[in-house]
């Protein structure tokens, strides 16, 4: 059992962003957009990167997290380093008593996820894992409909993330496409949001079988195409397909079907539904905001999801409740991705134990 969260009552919650690369822009935007938040500092091991971001955003900058923790007034540390480099700064920040928001995936192995979760529990700090797609209205509506039995008994749950990334996407950083620092390819990096949504909406996956391969991006260490079949604890079945090798790239798609209805979502928007009993006006309102069409261009990401998730995290800190996506919640998608990799590598069905 984790400790009761220490409720903080501050007029402004001080944030530090660690890692000033592409996703840091979403965090910084979301912090600025929140009236209860202030950006106190940014950190990057490349000093000029941190300095440039700090000058633009009127905050302190550091090239080491230790120095930042010693000098800046910070309540929350947002970890935006490469996926396999989340744990080290997270452990340092947790030990210093800072709450943590960590980008997806939480980390790239179960052991590294567990080390972060344990450190946060030990030091009584709040841990949130970024899965901003959970905050979009259409995904929440479908999650609630399944939970309330509006679609009847669940039969099929599928997710398709058929994207294209050019070779330059992998070449522009030293970590993308590496086993150690990306932890995997199309599934661990690009499709993990939909891995998360699928198991969040459909419930636990109990067994998987899979194929994975490198079909276009021959120079990377991990897969650029994967297909898995899933069995859920409810008895429902599913297909999960992810790629960064298909031209021109398609909207990510989620298909949720039950005996009494279902829904199809594309890029987090509701495109078809049966059984929800909502009028066209409500449906249009639900479909007003989502995450952007990133199927062929990662920079098309909208920052709305990060705004909503950071707002939820601040609310959690100020009221003492758990954040909507806790560390344990964020770990579930990593666990499922790793089980799919194990199934693809072994050619065997892999059962998930859900021992937490």
Ligand X SMILES: NC(=O)c1ccc[n+]([C@@H]2O[C@H](COP(=O)([O-])OP(=O)(O)OC[C@H]3O[C@@H](n4cnc5c(N)ncnc54)[C@H](O)[C@@H]3O)[C@@H](O)[C@H]2O)c1
Binding footprint of ligand X on the chain (CB under 6 A): 18-23, 43-46, 49, 65, 80-83, 85, 89, 103-104, 130, 132, 173, 189, 301
CB of 134 to ligand X, least distance (A): 11
Q: Distance (Å, rounded) from C-alpha 126 to C-alpha 316?
A: 9
Residue whose CB is less far from ligand X, 20 or 76: 20
Using CA atoms, how far residue 46 sits from 61, 173, 313, in Å, is 11, 13, 28
Say if residue 269 is preceded by a cis peptide, omega within 30 of 0: no
8 A C-beta contact, residue 175 and residue 85: yes
Query: With respect to ligand X, which residue has the nearer C-beta, 187 or 350?
Result: 187
Query: Which one, 17 or 225, has the nearer CB to ligand X?
Result: 17
Q: Which is nearer to ligand X, 79 or 155 (CB)?
A: 79
Q: How far is CA 67 from the centre of its chain?
A: 28
Pick 190 or 273: Cβ nearer ligand X: 190
Which among 102, 13, 20, 80 has a CA at the least distance from the CA of 55?
20
Task: Give the burial string for 38-67 (b: 16+ CB within 10 Å, else e).
Answer: bbbbbbbbeeebbbebbeebebbbbebbee
Residue placing its CB nearer to ligand X in the complex, 20 or 146: 20
Is the peptide bond between 248 and the residue preceding it cis, with omega within 30 degrees of 0?
Answer: yes
Cα Rg of the chain (Å, integer): 20
Q: How far is the CB of 173 from ligand X (least distance, A)?
A: 4
Residue 221 to residue 240: CA distance in whole angstroms:
21
Q: Choose among 150, 161, 238, 241: nearest CA to 202.
A: 238
């Amino acid at each position: 059992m984790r400790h009761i969260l220490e409720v903080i009552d501050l007029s402004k919650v001080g944030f530090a962003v660690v890692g000033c690369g592409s996703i840091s822009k979403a965090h910084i935007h979301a912090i600025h957009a929140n009236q209860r938040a202030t950006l106190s500092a940014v950190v990057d091991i490349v000093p000029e990167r941190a300095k440039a971001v700090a000058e633009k955003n009127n905050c302190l900058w550091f090239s080491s997290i230790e120095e930042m923790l010693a000098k800046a007034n910070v309540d929350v540390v947002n970890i935006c380093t490469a996926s396999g480099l989340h744990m080290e700064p997270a452990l340092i920040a947790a030990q210093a008593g800072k709450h943590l928001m960590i980008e997806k995936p939480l980390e790239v192995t179960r052991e590294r996820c567990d080390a972060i979760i344990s450190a946060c529990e030990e030091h009584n700090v709040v841990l949130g894992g970024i899965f901003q797609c959970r905050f979009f209205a259409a995904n929440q509506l479908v999650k609630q409909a399944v939970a309330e039995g509006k679609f009847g008994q669940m039969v099929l749950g599928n997710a398709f993330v058929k994207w294209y990334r050019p070779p330059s996407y992998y070449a522009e950083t030293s970590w993308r496409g590496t086993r150690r620092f990306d932890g995997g390819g199309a599934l661990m990096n690009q499709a993990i949001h939909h891995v998360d949504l699928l198991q969040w909406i459909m419930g636990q996956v109990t067994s998987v079988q899979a194929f994975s391969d490198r079909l276009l991006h021959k120079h990377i260490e991990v897969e650029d195409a994967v297909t898995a079949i899933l069995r859920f604890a409810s008895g429902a079945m599913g297909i999960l397909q992810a790629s960064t090798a298909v031209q021109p790239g398609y909207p990510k798609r989620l298909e949720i079907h039950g005996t009494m209805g279902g829904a199809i979502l594309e890029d987090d928007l509701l495109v078809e539904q049966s059984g929800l009993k909502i009028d066209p006006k409500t449906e249009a309102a639900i479909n007003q905001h989502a995450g952007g069409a990133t199927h062929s261009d990662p920079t098309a990401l909208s920052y709305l999801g990060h705004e909503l998730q950071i707002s939820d995290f601040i609310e959690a800190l100020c009221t003492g409740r758990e954040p909507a996506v806790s560390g344990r919640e964020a770990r579930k998608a990593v666990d499922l991705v790793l089980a799919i990799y194990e199934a693809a590598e072994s050619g065997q069905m892999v059962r998930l134990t859900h021992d937490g």
